[in-house]
Amino acid sequence: MHPLAKYRVEFPIFQQKIYLNSCSLGALSTRVRRKLNEMLDLWDARGASAWYDVWWGACEQLRQWYGEVIGASSGQIALHASVSTATAVLASALDYTKRPKVVTTALDFPTVAYQWLAKRPAGVEVVVVESPDGVTVPVEAIARAVDERTALVATSHVFFTTGAIQDLRAISDAAHAKGALCFVDAYQSVGQIPLEVGASGVDFLTAGGLKWLLGGTGIVFLYVRDELVKKLTPTVTGWFAHEHQFAFDPREIVWYADAKRFQQGTPALAAVYTQLGGMEIIREIGVPRIRDVTQQLTEDLISRLQAAGHELRMAQRPADRSAIVMVSSADPAAGVKRLADHGVIVDYRPGHVRISPYFYNLAEDNAAAVQFLSA
């Protein structure tokens, strides 16, 4: 038993199922349920009056905790409902007049590229860097795509399709070398992979509750580097970006001086609370310890799959792999169903069954998944 196995009792799903799908949705914990009930009880007992002395503070607490998990301050964090909305607001703040190009890769989650594809009628060009091996994208290829007409490099920390971890420092350096900025979708990394946003050199970064931060749907953050907070003004916005939002003045926007200027509307409080519950666990354990255990479980799963003769799509070096394991399959949907029939929950993407262990899994879970997948 590994040192974090004791947390498994906090995740009731394991009483019924073997859950190996955290890269789609982190498992629900009793702590998260308790936190959600706290919010519902306040709603019940006090209605809107809870905003002033409790809920407002809960949102600020979450900004602080999101900041801490990536080594940022709360002033660099805006709350959002999804990666799509966070990216859309960021995209609205950039000037494409002299730099109409946005560079992304074939392996990134497409909602990021969509924000700029939607701006094609306004002259924005999206350049998609291909992956030669279907697993990674060489940083040299990204660097070659960036030029003096590039506004932004927009890519992932961990690719959702392959689990490969990208070198953010090298990518942000490549962007900055040509005067472009760097935006990172870290939805598949924050929580499972340690990340210091300052050392990474990136300008913008988004991640959130759905997967590795154990907070469920509807709550993400956008990090903006200090210097850019002051320089950029969004053109997609809302009253939660207005410093004097309770003045209700329709004549003028007074932007928050910090990253809150990138927010839009009223946060989903239920999601803020579920994320606070998830973050309690992440903070208690610490991301480096989560990474240690999760990496061991991932390598254990890989060895078992290889021993059973499965072909895997993954980065060559273990240090570049995260806890997303792609197993080649002629009929992945059938494989997922077969596993589900045996109480093992995994997922699929085109051509692959996708299995993702986390710190609350055990080697026995891996063994069961491999047994039923190979049957």
Ligand X SMILES: Cc1ncc(COP(=O)(O)O)c(C=O)c1O
Residues that bind ligand X (CB under 6 A): 82-84, 109, 111, 156, 160, 185, 187-188, 210, 220
* d(C-alpha 151, C-alpha 154), whole Å: 10
Output DSSP code: residue 323. S
Cα-based angle 11, 13, 14 (whole degrees, multiple of 5): 80
In the chain, where does DSSP find H-type helix? 30-46, 50, 56-69, 83-93, 110-117, 139-145, 168-177, 197-200, 226-231, 269-285, 287-307, 332-341, 363-374
* Pick 220 or 229: Cβ nearer ligand X: 220
- Bridge pairing between strands 150-156 and 181-185: parallel
Least gap, CB of 23 to ligand X (angstroms) = 7
Cβ closer to ligand X: 109 or 183? Answer: 109
Q: Nearest distance from residue 154's CB to ligand X, in Å? A: 11
Closest contact distance (angstroms) between CB of 117 and ligand X is 15
Is the Cβ of residue 50 or residue 171 nearer to ligand X in the bound state? 171
Of 50 and 172, the one with the shorter C-beta distance to ligand X is 172
Query: What is the sign, positive or negative, of the torsion defined by CA atoms of 8, 11, 17, 21?
Result: negative
Tell the smallest beta-carbon distance from residue 375 to ligand X (Å). 29
Reading the block at residue 133, the tokens are: 């091996």
Of 364, 280, 343, 314, the C-alpha closest to 165 is: 314
Q: Which is nearer to ligand X, 156 or 361 (CB)?
A: 156
Q: Where are the beta strands (DSSP E) in 135-248?
A: 150-156, 181-185, 204-208, 220-224
In this structure, the strands spanning 312-313 and 325-328 are antiparallel
**In angstroms, rounded to a whole number, what is the distance separating the alpha carbons of residues 344 and 369?**
6
Q: Give 21 or 100: the residue with its C-beta nearer to ligand X.
A: 21
Alpha-carbon distances, residue 265 vs 22, 46, 166, 254 (angstroms): 28, 22, 32, 15
Using the minimum distance from each CB to ligand X, give the nearer residue, 8 or 63. 63
Residue 219 CB, nearest approach to ligand X (Å)? 9
Q: How far is the CB of 105 from ligand X (least distance, A)?
A: 12
Beta-carbon contacts of 303 under 8 Å, excluding residues fewer than 6 positions away, are: none
Instruction: Provide, rounded to whole angstroms, the least separation between the CB of residue 34 and ligand X.
Output: 25
